[in-house]
Structure 1
Amino acid sequence: MDGNITDTATPLSAHIPPEGFISTDNGIFIETTSKDGDIEQEWLCSPIAVVALGRNTGNNGWCRWIELVDADGVQHEWHVPQAQFNSSFTKVLDGLLDRGFRMAPGTNAKKHLAQLLTSWAPTKRYHTTDRLGWSDSTCTRFVLGDMRVIGGKDIVFLNDSVQRGEPAMHSRGSLATWRSEVSSRCKGNPVLMTSVSLAFAGPLVEFLNREIAGMHLKGMSSSGKTTSAKVAASVWGSPELVKDWTATKNAMEGMAAVANSSLLILNEIAEASAKEIGDAIYMLGNGQGKARSTSSGALRNTTKWNMTILSTGEITLAEKMAEAGQSTMMGQTVRMIEVSADTRRYGAFDVLHGETNGGDFAQRIEHAASQTYGVAGPAFVHELLKNSRIRSTLPDKIKAIASIWQSSLGLEGDGPAGRVLGHLAMIACAGQLASMFDVTDWDPQEPVSAAWELAKEWADLQERPEKFEIEATVERTRDYLLAHGETRFQRAGTSIDSPAGYRDDSWFYVSADTWNEIHAGHSPAEQANYLRASKWLVPGDGKNIKSKTPNWVAGRPRAYKIRAEIITAMADPKKAAA
């Protein structure tokens, strides 16, 4: 895989080749002894050197850093997996020739070249990573989409699936210009400021070991939601960072991978597949793609990511899923926080900073974001690495802000609403950090106030509190059955010591003790009624909420009868009753 291509700097002849080879400015020569005992030199190839050996942080995946000079004097850098030298040296040679490498003709020349490259033993070492963003869980080095590295120069990005990285994540202009022309116009505009704060929150997800968080900007056409997305994109790169919801699920995995530790932006939710969007949000929020096999049957490394997500559209997620006869689950609504982007004074905006109308303001800030970009995000990461104590102090600050908001809104702190407010508090703190780092020109309290405005509006949009309790009960029950359904629930003809209940292909019969275990800290009867309201629990005869277990269960004790489909249903909790 190619790294940087630069003009020749250090002559490759400075690197000492293995014994029997001589490196000169004209290339590599083989040193031989004639029949007469004279030392002779035979030209083998154009200038080339193995300058270092690389490996990942687990000391696996070894590779060789090869540099060569083509006929135009341009120096190429190539990182070749060690295994290729044994399994497919022809591919290695093809790659060299494609980069302008020249060599002597004949089979012997190929043999000598293989010997040269495999026996070259440089002392220099470097690390590799297959991840953009934070290179590993230590969060000490950050790889940008254009392969720039923050926090260390001894690491190289290598990933066959995304060889080009994210070309749109490059920089243009200066941070000072971005602050004055872009971030300054976010002042007084909660939707804009929180969208940009969401972009800064991308690196914090893994840095603080938090859940992936997202926002969906819902608004009418020309309201300013897409403008907000483009302004948020400018934190990390060009407007091309704004992607479309029309991407296939596989393509979305790739987009998520290259957005690791930054911001994934998906425009126009109305264009997405109604049948697939629910699963797509779960996939994006869970932080990993589908497990796949190689041609030999072995499992490939699963694509993983941590990031924030910004979505836009004229309709909500619920409205989109309703097109396919589905309804949203709690796990989807807390991952994608709905924000109204057309209810401010001027659509998505409150303050126009001297412009006469919302359209002119949108055009002005969009133009500014298209001229200066990709400088604020890297600057934020630089400061984050310089202030490592933030990693231990920021979680308590996020928790404190969320707690104040929960109390002010009268919402429970440990349910779905608490998770949403926790996400918004993290986004607010990201914007505040950007202010304290002088990456923006905001007052540090402004992004907190902006996120609080959206938190209040979000709370006003929600249905009665019971909706959240029902969804939380369904998710707790589903998670338990998914984790223990095959190991703790006894089937006919089998025997399990102290079973949690019984099951067949259609039903789970959850014992009362297990039910209390699943819903510890909550009223068992109330939780059963929530499951009944959602159609996952089928009551027994008469007034009994519990049903008799099957005939093959000794004594047929009563238990909570739950539809087995609950463990596979991802979208519609009512479809089992259809």
Structure 2
Amino acid sequence: MVGYVARWPASDAEPEHVAHITYCALGQGKRAWRMKPMPSPRPLFDLAAILSRPVASVLVCPDEWSMDAAAMLLPDMVATTTAQDPKSPASTDFGPLAGHPVVLAPTVGREGQAWADMMANLLAKAGVRDVKVLDMAGVAGSMGRELSSSDEWGLADAVDGGLAAEALATLMSTDPELIRFHVDERQKRATEVMLHSDTTPMTEESLSLFRSDATGVYKLVERQESGETIREYVRFCSPLTVVAETRDGDGRNWGRLLCVVDRDNIRKEWAMPMEQLAGDGINYRSELLSMGLTIGSARKAREFLHEFISSERPKEKARCVPRTGWHGRAYVSVNETLRPGQDAQERLLLQTTVPPDHPFRMAGDLAAWQDEIARYAIGNSRLGLALSAAFAAPLLYPLDAEGGGFHLRGGSSTGKSTALAVGGSVWGGGGLNGFLRTWRATSNGLEGVAALHCDALLCLDEMGQVDGREAGAIAYMLANGSGKSRAGRTGEARSSASWRVLFLSSGEVGLADKLADDGRGRRAAAGQEVRIVDIPADAGAGFGLFENLHAFGSADAFARHLKSAAARHYGHASRAFLKVVVERFDDIQQEARFLCDRFVRDHCPEGADGQISRVAARFGLIAAAGEIARDAGILPWPEGEAMRAAGVCFNGWLAQRGGIEPAEERDAIARVRHFIELHGASRFELMGAGLEPHPDMRVTHRAGFRAGDAAKGYEYIVLPEVWKADICTGMDVTFVTKTLAQRGFLRVGSDGKAQTKRRLPGFEGPVRCYVIRSSIMGEASH
């Protein structure tokens, strides 16, 4: 508590008296209550209630009497007032009201209007963009009171006159204009001119070409009547404001920040590129209509709208960006821009050809999310990984880390989608699928989705739905952070979409299986497997994805609880985390790098290939993000829980990978072994003393010869062209040959070359060939 405000009425000829009583420092270590002003900026009354209800409407009253009356008449709103004379509220801190819908409750009359105008101006400077006013004259009229402009009549008078909360609620439901957007005195005078402009003579030079008010937008037009030119305003659309001019950092991609007020009095903003005005403008009008703008049906109305947007020159300018995520030290999301408190640069906006359809919504509250979702990840490695990955996405830029994804692979009903729903709840939700997207899309279609999720988490459910031919392309595209290069109409190169994204994926099959399901025998390249890290969804504890059911009766009941909670509480955790990173960017950068390096040192096997260390670094980023979110008070976990969960999942990936050698070497050996397993008897002709083929066994499409016996093992002698065209097809022949020679699976000639000379049946002289030792089949079980 800062202090008390004493306010008491004076005589009719004098204003009311206001005094502050504060707990002051008197010197020499003494403190006591004294009648001294509060220090500026002064807090709003009942600030704790405002902060505890972050989405509630706030009713700002001129004084405490009105506030007490508001608490009785409008209990769904949080009532507050300033700590000084209503005529001088400038020393109040209105910052906590940013993000709240605010309703002013002025008294009737000129002084009330002046107070409302002054408050609206101060609130706008504090970042409050949704300011409405309660029409007390309308309330008085419903009670049968006739008031003049000199009467000072407000909420306290309404309660004294017998107004009840139920009667006011009924009045508000029948009269939607009782609470409307604030219009100051100057705008009201302009509206009167517009509404009665049919008699305005042409000599009225003060009239501008366009005028707007709470009823809509008007254009000044001329018409002839009885030989006289009459100028009048004609309405062509509902309320629309050009708030700011936009352009990018290079002075290109100019646009307009448009604000539409729909029929529910809800304000919606869209940063529209000016290129939308090219042609007949049907595309931008379609989007404005979808946002709730109403446009006159006549052709002139469309022309007036086009001219209005083109010609308006607002004083405010803003920088536009084509994607969400980090831009310097500022983080641009679909809904807002977060920047350090001392950063006073101009506004940053996401500018798109259409208002984006996005899942970055908020519901519930952070405390409930922590209690009903986050705490249940303790002891569950896959849930811990999903939540930590959600916080790791905005750390890609500070750590200059590469993008990529984690794929939870397992059978149906193991809980894969639950993990994605839990991770997605950090960023948003709502709708039928919450924050989840689907793999069922082309790589082109996912470009826009990736750009919208730049420096945020992307959740892709059910890899089985995507065509096998697209799976590999999507994996490369998402991790590489760049879309296709395309040409314009005249052949010039157009800028391609770019992003940084970390994604979670799920499916009953992994990437390698998906690539092979088209029947062409394709295998996942090593780069693809590093970009999408394949993790077994089954944690091995007998509960599918889970290791700890936290007193729930079954894995199914636990999963249903998590999904239900994720549908009610979402979007708050990411915003809280981003605020921490924005304000402590350098500290977070250093801490995350330290934790990531520590994870790699502790978990990456000695002598492991570079592909292993790349994947370990990504798991380290996940672990670091989880620990930082825990230190920030967002994840209610014990210290080290994020490190533990990431370590368990990394070890699971490493175990199923089958070794620490490069994936390309493993694939080369597997390719040769597979060919021998498939064609060992049918395409390799027996040779040597005592080796007679069975009379019913015919060798067709001969690949080479077999020498040796079943007891000691065969050597497979492969002819050179078969080696290149059949066995090593689609792979680097030199790399395969070198790998097998280094591992001892290929007999090297006396001259050190990979090919050896052999006398073979049907050939006149020695033939150079590749001799594969039988030991390659001995590794088939490893």
With structure 1 as the length reference, what TM-score do the two structures score? 0.72
What are the Cα deviations for residues 394-415 of structure 1, in whole angstroms up to 9, with x where unaligned?
2243123212222xx3343x61
Q: Is the 8 A contact 1:6 1:75 kept in 2?
A: no
Q: Is the 8 A contact 2:271 2:350 kept in 1?
A: no
- Give the 3-state SS of the residue equivalent to 2:483 in structure 1: coil
The answer for the alignment partner of 1:216 in structure 2 is 407
The answer for the alignment partner of 1:529 in structure 2 is 738
C-alpha spacing 1:192/1:120, structure 2 compared with 1 (3 Å)? closer
The answer for the alignment partner of 1:81 in structure 2 is 273
The answer for the alignment partner of 1:460 in structure 2 is 655
Query: How far did residue 381 of structure 1 move?
Result: 1.0
Q: Is the 8 A contact 1:212 1:307 kept in 2?
A: yes
| Residue pairs, 1:23-422, within 5 angstroms | 23=211, 25=213, 27-28=217-218, 30=220, 41-46=231-236, 49-67=241-259, 77-83=269-275, 88=280, 100=293, 117-134=309-326, 136=327, 138-144=328-334, 147-151=335-339, 154-160=347-353, 163-166=355-358, 168-238=359-429, 239-324=433-518, 325-345=521-541, 346-389=543-586, 390-406=588-604, 409-412=605-608, 415-422=610-617
Letter in 1 for 2:614: R
What are the Cα deviations for residues 120-166 of structure 1, in whole angstroms up to 9, with x where unaligned?
332211222221233x3x1412304xx34333892332222x63241
The answer for the alignment partner of 1:504 in structure 2 is none
Query: How far did residue 540 of structure 1 move?
Result: 11
Query: How far did residue 308 of structure 1 move?
Result: 1.0
C-alpha spacing 1:106/1:232, structure 2 compared with 1 (3 Å)? closer
C-alpha spacing 1:314/1:111, structure 2 compared with 1 (3 Å)? closer
C-alpha spacing 1:454/1:70, structure 2 compared with 1 (3 Å)? closer
Q: Report the Cα distance in structure 2 between the residues aligned to 1:443 and 1:70, rounded to whole angstroms.
A: 47
Query: How far did residue 431 of structure 1 move?
Result: 0.7
Structure 1 stretches lacking a partner, 5+ long: 475-506, 508-524, 547-578
C-alpha spacing 1:34/1:367, structure 2 compared with 1 (3 Å)? closer
Query: How far did residue 58 of structure 1 move?
Result: 2.8
* Percentage of pairs with the same residue: 27
What are the Cα deviations for residues 549-571 of structure 1, in whole angstroms up to 9, with x where unaligned?
xxxxxxxxxxxxxxxxxxxxxxx
Structure 2 stretches lacking a partner, 5+ long: 1-128, 133-179, 191-204, 341-345, 670-723, 725-733, 756-782
Q: Is the 8 A contact 1:200 1:430 kept in 2?
A: yes
The answer for the alignment partner of 2:775 in structure 1 is none
- Give the 3-state SS of the residue equivalent to 2:616 in structure 1: helix
Q: Does 1:446 align with 2:641?
A: yes
C-alpha spacing 1:348/1:370, structure 2 compared with 1 (3 Å)? same
Q: Report the Cα distance in structure 2 between the residues aligned to 1:532 and 1:142, rounded to whole angstroms.
A: 53
**Range with greater deviation from structure 2 (315-324 or 46-55):** 46-55
What are the Cα deviations for residues 367-411 of structure 1, in whole angstroms up to 9, with x where unaligned?
2222211211221111111211222442243123212222xx334
C-alpha spacing 1:197/1:113, structure 2 compared with 1 (3 Å)? closer
Letter in 1 for 2:181: A
Letter in 2 for 1:427: I
Q: Report the Cα distance in structure 2 between the residues aligned to 1:396 and 1:359, rounded to whole angstroms.
A: 38
C-alpha spacing 1:340/1:79, structure 2 compared with 1 (3 Å)? closer
Q: Is the 8 A contact 2:478 2:501 kept in 1?
A: no
C-alpha spacing 1:59/1:453, structure 2 compared with 1 (3 Å)? same
Q: Report the Cα distance in structure 2 between the residues aligned to 1:110 and 1:237, rounded to whole angstroms.
A: 37
| Residue pairs, 1:442-521, within 5 angstroms | 442-468=637-663, 470=665
C-alpha spacing 1:533/1:251, structure 2 compared with 1 (3 Å)? farther
Query: How far did residue 111 of structure 1 move?
Result: 7.6
Q: Report the Cα distance in structure 1 between the residues aligned to 2:439 and 2:305, rounded to whole angstroms.
A: 48
The answer for the alignment partner of 1:9 in structure 2 is 181
Q: Report the Cα distance in structure 2 between the residues aligned to 1:424 and 1:289, rounded to whole angstroms.
A: 25
Q: Report the Cα distance in structure 1 between the residues aligned to 2:299 and 2:273, rounded to whole angstroms.
A: 25
C-alpha spacing 1:214/1:116, structure 2 compared with 1 (3 Å)? closer
Root mean square deviation of aligned Cα: 4.1
C-alpha spacing 1:105/1:172, structure 2 compared with 1 (3 Å)? closer
Q: Report the Cα distance in structure 2 between the residues aligned to 1:466 and 1:92, rounded to whole angstroms.
A: 55
